[in-house]
Amino acid sequence: MKKRNNIHRNARQAGVAILSKPLFIALALVIINLNSFSQNSCKIQLSAEHNRTVRTITDSEYVYALFVINSGTSDRDISLSAGNYNEECTNPDGLPVDSNINLNISLLDSDLQPISNNVRLGPGGSYKFFLKVEVPDGSPFDAWNCTQVIASSQGCRPATLLLHTFYPNPENLE
């Protein structure tokens, strides 16, 4: 018993706080639960309708139907953005990305009007929107494009979705 008293006295003299084992465990559980709650309160998901993330387009444009979902536990203002992402993607057929083309990209609401504001979603809420890709005049045929869509909200990890669009040579289509 003397040894234990010496340990506690030495620790107090050194300015070290000693927590009892049950108090330490309780404190650790509170921290883990707070961290878990903060992650659950802020979760955003992106998906493509019918999981159509790879498309071959026969016209010079295509419109993807997309969804953003607030899977968290509180209301969220969600910002949507999209852009060409050719340098860091992998083409579905393994062709090198150095021959990928950039597309003109527009985010559209359910009325097919440009999205200009954040989307406000309650817990469990979803929002359907559209991403229109257009092939610029003079683009080469038989080329891929990778487009990254991002949904972000303050304090949350952004959700991303990668779309692959193939622009074939129309002469090779049956």
Same domain, 158 and 106: yes
Same domain, 22 and 74: no
Q: Span 95-113, mean pLDDT?
A: 97
Q: Would you say the pTM of this structure is higher than 0.85? A: no
Two structure tokens written together for 83: 């852009």
Same domain, 56 and 30: no
CA distance 103 to 56: 14
| pLDDT at residue 8, as a whole number | 53
Same domain, 116 and 58: yes
| Residue numbers of the domain that contains 66 | 44-172
Coil, helix or strand for 51? helix
CA dihedral 45, 51, 57, 61 (to 10 degrees): -30
Residue 23 has pLDDT above 60, yes or no: no
Same domain, 66 and 21: no
Q: Which of 49-53, 54-58, 74-78, 168-172 has the least mean pLDDT?
A: 168-172
CA distance 126 to 152: 14
In tens, the pLDDT along 59-95 reads: 999 999 999 999 999 999 999 999 999 999 999 999 9
Across all residues in the chain, what is the average pLDDT?
A: 85
| pLDDT at residue 53, as a whole number | 98
Q: Which of 12-16, 33-37, 84-88, 167-171 has the least mean pLDDT?
A: 33-37
Strand partners, 30: none
Residue 3 has pLDDT above 80, yes or no: no
Same domain, 61 and 135: yes
